Structure 1
Amino acid sequence: MNQMTDFNAGQPQPMLRVSNLTHRVSLETDTLTILKGVNLEINRGESVAIVGRSGSGKTTLLGLLAGLDTPSEGAVELDGARISEFGEDERAKLRASRVGFVFQSFQLLPAMTALENVMLPLELAGIENPEARARELLGRVGLEERLNHTPRQLSGGEQQRVAIARAFASDPVVLFADEPTGNLDNRTGHAVSDLLMALNREQGTTLVMVTHDEHLAARCGRQFSIEAGELTEPSPAQEAAD
């Protein structure tokens, strides 16, 4: 059976399930273990934050969850599909149809306008009337007057709003956010995080976010900590004490 067409077969599955996930990279004289035996389940519609310092493994974990890379050991399932066993073409097809991304560095195409940046994934997915959908989303993020501006003509906060509109354009089942406010000042970061959380609630998307900002993480339904490649979930007593 083709796993790409069997997302919802059988009993309901968690949106994401990770089993004994380990990831290593080979260096010239050694092997570096970035993740060590990570286990994690995330249910549909949950918002989850993974908090850790730079170099803790959080961005590597996010990339494995999203199918941007494959683990050295263990399994990653997204909506019932074991993507850790997929080839690159299968993973790319899944990302295009079911996954949204928001990056710290915005990742907008500099030669395209805000409207064109949001339209592009819709066009690649073959969605009808991509311009209308892109205009609607840019209006929802408050950029209806900035449709024809290129990224260099937009502030950092406006660029991240375009990136959020693009991430939600194809109605993803899961949204991955990598330090979504990391390049913004506090005031702009709060406004962008308000927008991200509001759109996520409206669309019922599963949100998985990595951040070093504990205040932003606290806005999610569950929080995990990662340190030296090991993932832990604070107990309710620990959270209350904090």
Structure 2
Amino acid sequence: MSTDRQPNPSNDFMIEVQNLSHSVDLGTDSLTILQQVNLSIGKGESAAIVGRSGSGKTTLLGLLAGLDLPTSGTVHLDGHLISALSEDERASLRSRRVGFVFQSFQLLPTLSAIENVMLPIELAGLPDARSKAEGLLDRVGLAERMQHTPRQLSGGEQQRVAIARAFAVDPQVLFADEPTGNLDTRTGEAITELLMTLNREQGTTLVMVTHDQQLADRCQRHFVIEAGVLHEKQSDKQTVTAA
């Protein structure tokens, strides 16, 4: 895709999406997952993307993070045109600027909590990995559980480790895919509060995919995706096409 015709992204936005569509090849046919999505998320904002299973919300999250490339349209992440970058360049951009929190936690089972949090710091070649990991685990309430492996931790504790790991390299944007989906209501509320607090205090842009309307309502921006079409839900409960 040519990059010289693309408009310059605004410095105020962490994410800018223009006319994004995405399809998958089924051999004799193709399936359209996303249609003409337009979206801008400001630096430091919190945003939720809500939709039913199969609506395209997780696919959109992957495209915003540069894990995949759209069939058409553009995605700018912190001013970088994702489609103009090689796979290695996209990976480097994610390692320096992006954190991830997944529904399934995705912790390394043979490593302790502190080793899981230290890993991305060490991979990024940053100093003081242990002291920073200790500080993050203390921040998420796990000062007494640092040496425990994931199997020795509850689901809520594992998600807290995952959140600490996501913030280990001071990401400018955090993508969370159903971060409370595998948790009971009380633990899910605690994780939600932690994410929102870190968003406010560290100024990290937060983009969450969720089916939880209450979680979505905690965010500054609330988007709804239906059959691949994205709308922004307004405070007056109206929905408008996202721009």
TM-score by length of 2: 0.93
Identify the residue that residue 44 of structure 2 maps to in structure 1. 45
Matched position secondary structure for 2:110: coil
Return the alpha-carbon distance in structure 2 between the equivalents of residues 113 and 53 of structure 1. 35
Would you say the 8 A contact 1:122–1:130 is kept in 2? Answer: yes
Give the unaligned 5+ runs of structure 1.
Answer: 4-8
Shift of 1:196: 1.1
Return the alpha-carbon distance in structure 1 between the equivalents of residues 165 and 47 of structure 2. 21
Return the alpha-carbon distance in structure 2 between the equivalents of residues 41 and 232 of structure 1. 12
Return the alpha-carbon distance in structure 2 between the equivalents of residues 40 and 54 of structure 1. 21
Task: Figure out how many residues of one structure are paired with residues of the other and give that number.
Answer: 233
Spell out, residue by residue over 1:81-119, the C-alpha distance to the aligned partner (whole angstroms, 9 max, x if none): 101221110000000000000000001011111000000
Identify the residue that residue 6 of structure 1 maps to in structure 2. none
Amino acid at match of 2:70: P
User: Following superposition, which runs of at least 4 residues in structure 1 exceed 6 angstroms of deviation?
Assistant: none
Amino acid at match of 2:68: D
Matched position secondary structure for 2:13: coil
Spell out, residue by residue over 1:6-38, the C-alpha distance to the aligned partner (whole angstroms, 9 max, x if none): xxx996241100001111101133200100010
Return the alpha-carbon distance in structure 1 between the equivalents of residues 177 and 234 of structure 2. 24
Amino acid at match of 1:77: H
2:89 is the alignment partner of 1:83: no
TM-score by length of 1: 0.93
Would you say the 8 A contact 2:9–2:16 is kept in 1? Answer: no
Return the alpha-carbon distance in structure 2 between the equivalents of residues 134 and 54 of structure 1. 35
Would you say the 8 A contact 1:13–1:80 is kept in 2? Answer: no
2:158 is the alignment partner of 1:189: no
- The RMSD of aligned alpha carbons is 1.6
Matched position secondary structure for 2:61: helix
Distance 1:216-1:235 versus aligned 2 partners, 3 A rule:
closer
Amino acid at match of 1:216: L
Give the unaligned 5+ runs of structure 2.
Answer: none
Matched position secondary structure for 1:216: helix
Shift of 1:78: 0.7
Amino acid at match of 2:111: M
1:83-162 maps to which residues of 2 (within 5 A)?
83-162=82-161
